[in-house]
Amino acid sequence: MASTQKNLSQHSEKNIQDISGKKFALIVSEWNEEVTESLFQGAMETLLKNGAIKGNIIRKNVPGSFELTLGAQWMAQEEEIDAVICLGCVIQGETKHFDFICDAVANGITNVGIKYNKPVIFGVLTPDNQKQALDRAGGKHGNKGDEAAITAVKMLGF
């Protein structure tokens, strides 16, 4: 799988700081596991490449993207956690619930960030099919997991 990992130097120089003391929670949805594992790998590698310490990164799984909100809340309420990254994949063709799940998780994650006043990042793919998903999970369109990690780091430097 193509490496799409980026570090912050390839992005805006704004909001860059030392993140070695920061603690991250990665919440990973088990639905569409092949995709979400690639998102996780991308996010993890990108955090480490940009100075995060492995011991400061916690991973928690949830059954599906709908559960990312509660998983995010459980992590965000921990005082020691500085940022939460939610990773999921909802494939449109597979569910009539697509809009409900996407709306719920987008609103839910937004509210958790506001409630706990810390970055809670939306790293959820919403493709039409699995190929589109894989293209965005380490394939030809990059890795949304990388982007989610970079977004968290940039928000910590706000």
Binding site residue list for 5-amino-6-(D-ribitylamino)uracil? 31, 65-67, 89-91, 122
Of 19 and 25, the one with the shorter C-beta distance to ligand DLZ is: 25
Minimum CB distance to ligand DLZ, residue 30 (Å): 8
- 107: its two tokens: 């609103």
**Active-site residue (options: 20, 77, 97, 110):** 97
Q: Among 7, 23, 15, which residue's Cα sits nearest to residue 147?
A: 7
Closest to 87 (Cα-Cα) out of 42, 20, 134:
42
Q: Give catalytic status of residue 141 as yes or no.
A: no
Query: What is the SS3 string spanning 114-155?
Result: HHHCCCEEEEEECCCCHHHHHHCEEECCEEHHHHHHHHHHHH
Least distance in Å: CB of 85 to ligand DLZ?
15
Per the listing, tokens 């994650």 go with 109
Residue ranges of alpha helices (H) inside 10-61 are 33-49
CA proximity to 27, closest of 102, 93, 105, 99: 105
Q: Please say which residue, 88 or 108, places its beta carbon nearer to ligand DLZ.
A: 88
Strand-pairing partners, residue 57, are 24
- Compute the least distance from the CB of residue 128 to ligand DLZ, in Å: 11
Closer residue to ligand DLZ (CB): 33 or 78: 33
Residue among 4 and 32 whose Cβ is closer to ligand DLZ: 32
CB of 68 to ligand DLZ, least distance (A): 8
Residue found under tokens 């490496």: 3
Q: Which residues are annotated as a binding site?
A: 31, 65-67, 89-91, 94-95, 122, 136
Sites of contact with ligand DLZ (CB under 6 A): 29, 31-32, 63-67, 88-91, 94-95, 97, 101
**Residues acting as catalytic residues:** 97
